[in-house]
A and B are shown apart, each in its own frame.
Chain A
């Protein structure tokens, strides 16, 4: 029965990635390699971030919110952005339209993130006899994370790959990108500083991910209009 639960949580955590790949035109244009390369870049970025965090951060046992530590963590979060930049611009892609590029990169990024952060706890924990809601919430978080990654990739591609952007929209684009990049710090502040419980935090993540997705979609459409 508990392997059943593991299976359920696994399809909640990793299913949407597979569904996204097969449902959108990504599968038609064979962008699998792009996603895989983006996943590898994520792995390298995660490693670099780990080393930096280990070197500069002092680990405290208490679960309280320390502004200085959180600021440091947010700064290191921008290493993520650098990694994404690298994936978007430097990797040689075959002639894939920009639309598909950012989606593939975002997908690969989110998939690597889910596997790295959520597979191990799932395998170890969800197969036990004891039932907790944690793994289901973790799956929902993975879904929110997918939307965030694709939005960030979209905003990133807007910033770095699109040359002619309407001047008014540029600050909004940068602002949105900044919010998405610091989202991990925001959620950890909510969890520790304000003491929100897991369901509330996950709810907030889902809601904000949909909001950001909508905003970045609108921005993308707006930036596309001049070239149309």
Chain B
């Protein structure tokens, strides 16, 4: 074996550029940790009478960008923290229908429904943020957005990614296929229409005391609350106040009356009908179908109905919304009963009259469905004006922190007491039926545990199956407090169509540019060629190397 020791001179200059190339490679891409995975929740996608609203796509697979200014954003996903959002800019962007690859909105962590225990200080910034979020929601729900929009909660990983993307953007190197950067990927199938979405009404019946030989039908008092929600991100729509507080109030009232009615001596001479209806945000569709299913006798026996809606915010005023004229004597009776009880708790009850328009499909309050069938009904709510369609039905900022347990307890007391005084004809006699520290006192831990449960469960009706655990739980709870429970499954009104795929997982990858791969190939190719030449020269001699390139002499 020839032991050549001479360093092959022509190869030396090649090493220096190689070294510089390697150095450039190393500085192009930072060493970074592995993939970040975050839970993301998609903007709602729905049609009203075939007019599309919301985000129409679900699959996301583009590079990340951090600002709305920039060329060619149709192949980038913009990451925007809601805290720093410029609403006017977004309004303009969406209004003009400009195309993006996708939009990822980052919400502050305390908006997360899972953070039930963390105490949030009510301060001005928080209020401003809530207003900003509400406006953003209104904008997004009524817009038709042809690209995927996702919500995620800020955490350390995603904040680090955002900082890095901002730095890259600032240095004029936006992430695209040719320059590397971060790639956001949400693997989701095409959103499909939910065929025949079901709405489920749950009713509980507490019969009153029927004396022997008395064949006349006892009058019935109905207490109703709608339990489903609608929000800009259906997976996050927990609606603690709208209408979780109403549901909790209804359950507690049912519990109190079931104690009273369990003993025939204290059973009132009124039947009590408790209704948990669905389809609330969609013009109280469920209530309408539930009422239509009543037989004639039941309908005729209903004395009046009280609908509970949003009872959870601190304040000293409750409103009684009616559609019959205020001079109506039944309305006056209900109002007087409520006011007198409320005064004892330091609350004010105001009467608000809103005429119903039979020709318009819009039903702003639940009692209007009763009024359309000529039944006396009223809604008790902290809201003073009727909400617009799809508003105040479980927005992003309506989570556990926006509900005060004390308010709900107070409202429960007022409603239960006024109904009980009417049943037992105790008006004006100064009796306190559900007095504190008695066995009939409102139970704060019951209220708290149900509020917590409802604040962690999203309840958008089309995404609740017939046997959803929540529906089963509500049914079981009502069954505990009433004698007869029945469930009614109906299909949601056809004007509203919903599409599935409401949540997903976002994968953040750091990808390198094509140039990097090509450069690396070049480097490796030259390394292997160098190695080859080196080995040939050291083992066989330079002549052999040169002879490789020379054509063999023709035979």
Interface residues of A (CB under 8 A from B): 1, 4-5, 7-8, 11-12, 15-16, 19-20, 22-25, 99, 128-133, 136, 221
Query: With a CB–CB cut-off of 8 A, which chain B residues contact A24?
Result: 535-536, 539-540
Measured between beta carbons, the chain B residues less than 8 angstroms from A130 are: 34-35, 509-511
A210 CA to B512 CA in the complex, in Å?
31
CA distance A23 to B530 in the complex (A): 11
Q: Are B517 and A4 in contact (CB under 8 A)?
A: yes
Q: Which B residue sits closest to A197, measured CB to CB?
A: B31
The reply to whether the CB of B29 lies closer than 8 angstroms to some CB of chain A is yes
Closest to A16 in B: B531
Main secondary structure of the interface of A (DSSP, over half): helix
Residues of A within 8 A of B521 (CB): 4, 7-8
For B73, list chain A residues within 8 Å (CB): none
Contact A12 B535 (CB under 8 A): no
Give the docked Cα–Cα distance between A31 and B528 (Å): 21
* Pairwise interchain contact B532-A23, C-beta atoms closer than 8 A: yes
In the bound complex, CA of A24 to CA of B511 (Å): 38
**Structural contact, B185 and A5, CB atoms closer than 8 A:** no
Nearest 4 A-B pairs (CB), nearest first? A23-B535, A129-B509, A130-B509, A131-B512
Residues on A with beta carbons closer than 8 Å to the beta carbon of B531? 16, 19-20, 23
Does B524 contact A8, Cβ atoms closer than 8 Å?
yes
Q: Which residues of B contact A22 (CB under 8 A)?
A: 532
Residues A1 and B524 in contact in the complex (CB < 8 Å), given A23-B532, A24-B535, A130-B35: no
Given A8-B521, A130-B509: 13 more A-B contacts, CB < 8 Å:
A1-B512, A1-B517, A4-B517, A8-B520, A15-B524, A16-B531, A20-B535, A22-B532, A130-B510, A131-B29, A131-B509, A131-B510, A131-B511
CB distance from A62 to the nearest CB of B (A): 21
Mark interface residues in B132-174 (1 if CB within 8 Å of A CB, else 0): 0000000000000000000000000000000000000000000
Q: How far is the CB of A103 from chain B (nearest CB, A)?
A: 9
Distance between B69 CB and nearest chain A CB, rounded to angstroms: 27
Assess A16 versus B29: contact at CB under 8 Å? Given A8-B521, A131-B512.
no
State whether the Cβ of B183 lies closer than 8 Å to any Cβ in chain A. Answer: yes
Q: Contacting B535 at CB < 8 Å: which of A1, A15, A19, A221?
A: A19
Chain B residues within 8 Å of A20, by CB = 531, 535
Closest to A131 in B: B512
Give Cα A11–Cα B509 distance, bound, in whole angstroms: 24
Please state if B517 and A132 are interface contacts (CB–CB under 8 Å).
Answer: no
A1 to B518, CA, bound (A): 10
Q: Residue on A with the closest CB to B525? A: A11
- Which bucket holds chain B's interface residue count? 20 to 34
The answer to whether A16 and B528 touch across the interface, beta carbons within 8 angstroms, is yes
For A16, the chain B residues whose CB sits under 8 A away are 528, 531
Partner of A12, one of B511, B524, B540: B524
Complex: A221 Cα to B1 Cα, angstroms: 10
- Measured in the bound complex, the distance between the Cα atoms of B513 and A1 in whole Å is 9
Cα–Cα, bound, A8→B180 (Å)? 17
Q: In the complex, what distance in Å separates the CA atom of A99 from the CA atom of B3? A: 12
In the complex, what distance in Å separates the CA atom of A11 from the CA atom of B531?
Answer: 13
User: Is the Cβ of A221 less than 8 Å from the Cβ of B35?
Assistant: no
Contact flags B499-526 to A (C-beta < 8 A → 1, else 0): 0000000010111101001001100100
A11 B524 Cβ-Cβ under 8 A: yes
Q: Roughly how many angstroms separate A19 CA and B185 CA in the complex, as a whole number?
A: 39
- B510 to chain A: which residues have CB within 8 Å? 130-131
Find chain A residues with CB under 8 A from B512 CB: 1, 5, 131
**Complex A-B: 17 CB contacts under 8 Å:** A1-B517, A5-B520, A8-B524, A15-B528, A19-B528, A20-B531, A20-B535, A22-B532, A24-B535, A24-B539, A24-B540, A25-B1, A25-B539, A25-B540, A130-B511, A131-B509, A132-B31
| Cα–Cα distance between A12 and B3 once the two chains are bound (Å) | 27
B514 touches A1 (CB 8 A): yes
Contacts of B35 in A (CB 8 A): 130
Determine the residue in chain A with the shortest Cβ distance to B61: A129
Q: Cβ of B539: which chain A residues have Cβ within 8 Å of it?
A: 23-25
Within the complex, what minimum Cβ distance (angstroms) separates A127 from chain B?
12
Q: What CA separation (Å) do A1 and B534 show in the bound complex?
A: 31
State in angstroms the CA–CA spacing of A20 and B521 once bound together.
19
Shortest CB-to-CB span from A42 to chain B, Å, is: 22
Cα–Cα distance between A19 and B531 once the two chains are bound (Å): 7
How far apart sit A133 and B25, CA to CA, in the bound complex (Å)?
11
Among A1, A99, A130, A221, chain B packs the most CB atoms within 10 A around the CB of A130
Rounded to whole angstroms, the CA-CA distance of A156 and B528 in the bound complex is: 27
Distance in angstroms from B222 CB to nearest chain A CB is 57
Contacting residues, chain B, for A136 (C-beta < 8 A) = 520
Residue of A nearest to B2 (CB): A25
Interface centre among A7, A19, A23, A132, by most chain B C-beta atoms within 10 angstroms, is A23
| Contact flag A129-B185 (CB < 8 Å), given A19-B528, A19-B535 | yes
- Tell me whether A133 and B31 are in contact in the complex, defined as CB-CB below 8 angstroms, given that A8-B521, A8-B524, A24-B535 are known contacts: yes
Asked if A1 and B528 sit within 8 Å, CB to CB, the answer is: no
